[in-house]
Structure 1
Amino acid sequence: MFNKSLMGMTCACFLGLSAQALAQTTTGTDYKRIDVMRDATNWAFGVNLAAADVNTIDNNVFSFGVFGNYFTAPNFSLGLTLDYWNDSFSETDRRVEVEDLALGANGRFLFSEFTTGLRPFALAGLAVHRFQVDVANRDPNADPLLDKFNEYDRNTEDVEGELGADFGAGVMYRVQTAMDMLAEVRYRRILDRTVDLDQVNYSVALSYVL
């Protein structure tokens, strides 16, 4: 089972090793990283990889996505995200498959640098989740109070599209003038409380600024 504390340590090491690699590649050259605030006209696009801890699903799932951010001010951006994951698990002769395609919009506030090139941020937004749930070989006569798969199907049979709220925080590290690395934790809450598919995503991302 995925260990949350291990993921946090991995994100920290990811940023630390990136900083070390940058220092090594610039040693002996006249290259200097320009740590400047984002201009109001900057667009940023990137990709992310995440481990998602999803309610109702026993194991953690692998997620990937793309995103774009528009900086309306040096410390604030508006963004769009598109993320996808799927997972399947089985018990006895029955199998459940769940997938989620989420389109989100968010606002991100960047705090001042607490060390050169490293800035924390917080975000909030909304997302539309398109779930697909398939329970194969489900016994229609099973007792819903005892059958895990019957309960699972009953709670998620209507989740073609659900609105969710996103809340998150992370750190952004300036690798080069036009490239950032990010580590983020995001809580994705499904607003329909009859659907138990809330998620916590632990992600790392690479972003390129135009």
Structure 2
Amino acid sequence: MPVEYPELVIKYDGTLLAGVDEVGRGPLIGAVVAAAVILDPARPVDGLGDSKMLTSARREHLAEEIRDKALAFAVAEASALEIDELNIYHATHLAMRRAIDALKPSAEYLLVDGNRLPGHHVPGQAVVKGDARHPAIGAASILAKVARDAQMLTLHERFPDYGFARHKGYPTPEHLAALERLGPLSEHRRTFAPVKRQLELF
């Protein structure tokens, strides 16, 4: 029998089912971060869901609980350089495969947020808006978001004039104005249009 969740039927009943999600496709700077999580049915984590809908404090609390209770979890990334070399689509799937490969024990089935699988040998299915539809994907979303936000806070400490603590690298008016005023950093994604335009001027 398939395992049923609201609006979602999982065509697999194995216990080592990993949720996979990414954060950071849209920003102009830094890595794209992916996470994979195998939850423990005997130790559920309440309140899992789309990380974007949670406060920072709530994400931090849930991330700690996920790391404590999950059967396995892993966070991996593809760098800004890899994004520029591969493009963001392929770099995102690279980060996902790295996270899946790092799981111990290994996953037997994958639930991947989005509409495409990352090309891993472990079977699975893509789930559109999966972070709000399955707890394992929601858990992965939270771990990836917490990890990427931490990277942006570290970058903010080094370059406070860019405002990374506030916009997390996304192309907000503040970030675009800082790019125009100060120029791109080495961590910026050089193939992304706003960065590419400024590189031509500096």
Shorter-chain TM-score: which interval?
under 0.3
- The structure, 1 or 2, with the larger RCO (C-alpha pairs under 8 Å, 6+ apart) is 2
More helix by share: 2
> Which is richer in strand?
1
Larger radius of gyration: 1
